[in-house]
Amino acid sequence: MYKTGFVGIVGKPNAGKSSLVNKMVGFKVAITTPKPQTTRFNIKGIRTSDTSQIIFVDTPGVHNPKHKLGEYMMKGVNVAILDTDVIVYLVDATKPVLDEANKRIMNDIVKAKKKIILAINKIDSIKKENILRIIEEYNKYIDNIGGSFKDIIPISVYKNDGLDILVKCIEEVLPEGEIIFSEDEVTDISERDIAEEIIREKALSYLNEEIPHGINVKIEKMKLRTTENGNEVYDIDAEIICKKDSHKPIIIGKNGEMLKKISTASRREIAEMTDTRVNLKIWVKVRKDWENIDNFLGNIKDKIR
């Protein structure tokens, strides 16, 4: 009896959603940083085994949007809730508070009559008795809104603890079905999309706390060519878009050192991903209030699915 289906990974920023999807798939399909709201659009990670094909849908962190970008991000969460077979609601055990954004999404999940698995992540960072208090709080809330959890699984993505149990619980509630994606596929997004995300990840990692929320990355050109020696090279022209004039010199850095750092790390990882030499050029451009302008949100808006 083969199981196939879509599993939405939903939760607050920094709960570990992208790290969980990457670990489940065994391949880096989603970028991860300590900065909140790193994930901006839904990304599918595909895990295929002898017993099931589970298509994990990594979603942006649940929050109260303050601009169009945030609205599109939350629309992605709602699309995942409606279009998946199972929801894994991921909670950061070190910050388990149920805020209003959390409660609203949980209400939407219950209204959609979805099967819900509560996964409590980062249990390696708290005392065991605190896990019981988190379970009690979330059980009480979902019971009050007329829902229930199919299962509650304490896990640690970092320690690889409880993930095999989580997979078994997911398989139990997935519908029977034929394989959807070919066995060698691990994601549904293109190399171009992944390259944009890699550049943004490196920028998020190296820049200070204020700037990352105000940047976007757009690849203008990604072309494969063959050199005279018969070697293949990807020529990539990319833009880091920021929203303030004062951010541009920070991203570039003194004597261009910061931009060079971002470019070098991005080039290395894109080359590993494509198994091809990479010639990467990055420019920094200021586009004020880009988070509210559809022309600059196309690469995010188009991926709401």
Q: Where are the domains of the chain?
A: 3-173, 191-301
Q: Is the pLDDT of residue 298 over 70?
A: no
- The pLDDT of residue 17: 95
Confidence of residue 73 (pLDDT cuts 50, 70, 90): confident
Arithmetic mean of pLDDT, 121-140: 94
User: What is the second-level CATH architecture of the domain 191-301?
Assistant: 2-Layer Sandwich (3.30)
Confidence of residue 260 (pLDDT cuts 50, 70, 90): very high
- The pLDDT of residue 270: 97
Confidence of residue 305 (pLDDT cuts 50, 70, 90): low
Secondary structure, 3-state, the chain = CCEEEEEEEEECCCCCHHHHHHHHHCCCCCCCCCCCCCCCCCEEEEEECCCEEEEEEECCCCCCCCCHHHHHHHHHHHHHHHHCCEEEEEEECCCCCCCHHHHHHHHHHHHCCCEEEEEEECHHHCCHHHHHHHHHHHHHHHHHCCCCCCEEEECECCCCECHHHHHHHHHHHCCECCCCCCCCCCECCCHHHHHHHHHHHHHHHHCCCCCHHHEEEEEEEEEEEECCCCCEEEEEEEEEEECCCCHHHHHHCHHHHHHHHHHHHHHHHHHHHHCCEEEEEEEEEECCCHHHCHHHHHHHHCCCC
Arithmetic mean of pLDDT, 119-129: 94
Residues above pLDDT 90, as percent of the chain: 72
As beta bridge partners, residue 151 has 117
Confidence of residue 32 (pLDDT cuts 50, 70, 90): confident
Confidence of residue 92 (pLDDT cuts 50, 70, 90): very high
Query: Cα dist. 187→77, 169, 175, 181, 234 in Å?
Result: 18, 22, 21, 9, 21
User: What is the second-level CATH architecture of the domain 3-173?
Assistant: 3-Layer(aba) Sandwich (3.40)
Arithmetic mean of pLDDT, 178-202: 93
Confidence of residue 196 (pLDDT cuts 50, 70, 90): very high
Q: Is the pLDDT of residue 18 over 80?
A: yes
Return the top range by mean pLDDT from 72-86, 100-114, 157-171: 157-171
- The pLDDT of residue 253: 94
- The pLDDT of residue 212: 63
- Give 96 or 89, the one with higher predicted confidence: 89
Arithmetic mean of pLDDT, 251-276: 96
Q: Which of 47, 39, 34, 19 is nearest to 209 (CA)?
A: 34
